[in-house]
Amino acid sequence: ARHVQNFTSIHDPIYNLNYFPRNQFNAADHRELRQAATDMWREITCLKSA
């Protein structure tokens, strides 16, 4: 039960960081937003770019 609680407590912030309504952006803008979200996630988690 604790694992589920930990997962649900962190799921929403991660989902919100990576969610973009696909019908509101063209493909190029969507790629740019996804890259920005990935860069931010790497900064938050202290991961180095590959």
DSSP string of 16-28, one letter each residue? HHH---GGGS-HH
Q: Name the residue range of residue 26's domain.
A: 13-48
**Cα(5)–Cα(33) distance, integer angstroms:** 29
Determine, yes or no, domain membership for 4.
no
- Structural domain count, the chain: 1
Determine, yes or no, domain membership for 31.
yes
Q: Is 35 within 8 Å of 42 (Cβ atoms)? A: no
Determine, yes or no, domain membership for 6.
no
pTM: 0.58
Q: What rounded mean pLDDT belongs to the chain?
A: 81
Determine, yes or no, domain membership for 1.
no
Torsion of CA 50, 23, 7, 48, to 10 degrees: 10
- The token pair that represents 6 in the structure block: 């930990």
pLDDT band per the 50, 70, 90 thresholds, residue 28:
very high
Determine, yes or no, domain membership for 34.
yes
Please report where in the chains the tokens 């696909």 appear, as a residue: 22
Determine, yes or no, domain membership for 35.
yes
